[in-house]
Copies of this chain bind each other. A is one copy, B any other.
Amino acid sequence: MKLTGLNFIGNKRSGSGSKTFKAVNPDNEEEFGPEYLEATEDEINQAVEQAESAFLEYREKNGTEKAEFLEAIADEILALGDQLIDRCMSETGLPKGRLEGERGRTVGQLKLFADILREGSWVDARIDTVNSDSSIKSMKMALGPVGIFGASNFPLAFSVAGGDTASALAAGCTIVVKAHPAHPGTSEMVANAIDKAVKKTSMPAGTFNMVHGPSNDVGKTIVKNPLIKAIGFTGSFAGGKAIFDAAVNRPEPIPVYAEMSSGNPVFLLPGALKEKQDDIAEGLTNSVNLGIGQFCTKPGLVFYEDSDEAEKFLTKVRERFKKTQTGTMLTKGIYTAYKKGVDELLQQEGVQLVAQSEKNGSPNTVIAHLLKVSSDSFLSNELLEEEVFGPATLTISVKDKKNLVKVAENLQGHLTASLFGTKEDLDSYSDLIAVLQRKVGRLIFNGYPTGVAVNHAMIHGGPFPATTDSRTTSVGSSAIDRFVRPVCFQNFPDNQLPAELKDDNPANIWRLIDGERKK
Contact = CB atoms under 8 A, between A and B. Distances in A.
Interface stretch (A18-26, A231-239, A325-333, A454-462): A454-462
Interface residues of A, number: 83
A519 to B, nearest CB: 8
A380 interface: no
A457 B127 contact: yes
Contacts of A203: none
Nearest to A467: B485
Given A141-B437, A248-B253, A253-B244, A126 B490 contact: no
B442 A490 contact: yes
A445 B135 CA distance: 10
Given A141-B437, A255-B471, A517-B517, A136 B491 contact: no
Interface stretch (A83-91, A113-121, A286-294): A113-121
Contact of A426 (B468, B496, B510): B496
A458 B443 CA distance: 34
Contacts of A430: 496
A176 to B, nearest CB: 18
Contacts of A433: 496
A469 B130 CA distance: 28
A494 to B, nearest CB: 10
A150 interface: no
A267 to B, nearest CB: 14
Contacts of A492: 443, 445
A506 interface: no
Given A445-B493, A485-B471, A487-B459, A131 B453 contact: yes
Contacts of A447: 133-134, 490-491
Contact of A441 (B442, B486, B491, B510): B486
Contacts of A423: 493, 495
Given A426-B496, A443-B492, A454-B131, A144 B473 contact: no
A478 B125 CA distance: 12
Given A136-B453, A137-B457, A490-B447, A56 B441 contact: no
B461 A486 contact: yes
B515 A115 contact: yes
A56 B434 contact: yes
B490 A443 contact: yes
A490 B455 contact: no
A512 interface: yes
Given A131-B453, A136-B455, A136-B457, A444 B244 contact: no
A477 interface: yes
8 contacts: A124-B478, A126-B456, A131-B454, A133-B453, A138-B459, A244-B248, A253-B468, A442-B487
Interface of A: 56, 115-116, 119, 121, 124, 126-128, 130-134, 136-138, 141, 143-144, 244-245, 248-249, 252-253, 255, 412-413, 423, 426-427, 430, 433-434, 437-438, 440-447, 451, 453-459, 461, 463-465, 468-473, 477-478, 484-493, 495-496, 510, 512, 514-515, 517, 519
Given A115-B515, A244-B248, A426-B496, 10 more contacts: A136-B455, A252-B464, A255-B471, A430-B496, A441-B485, A443-B488, A445-B489, A447-B491, A459-B486, A510-B517
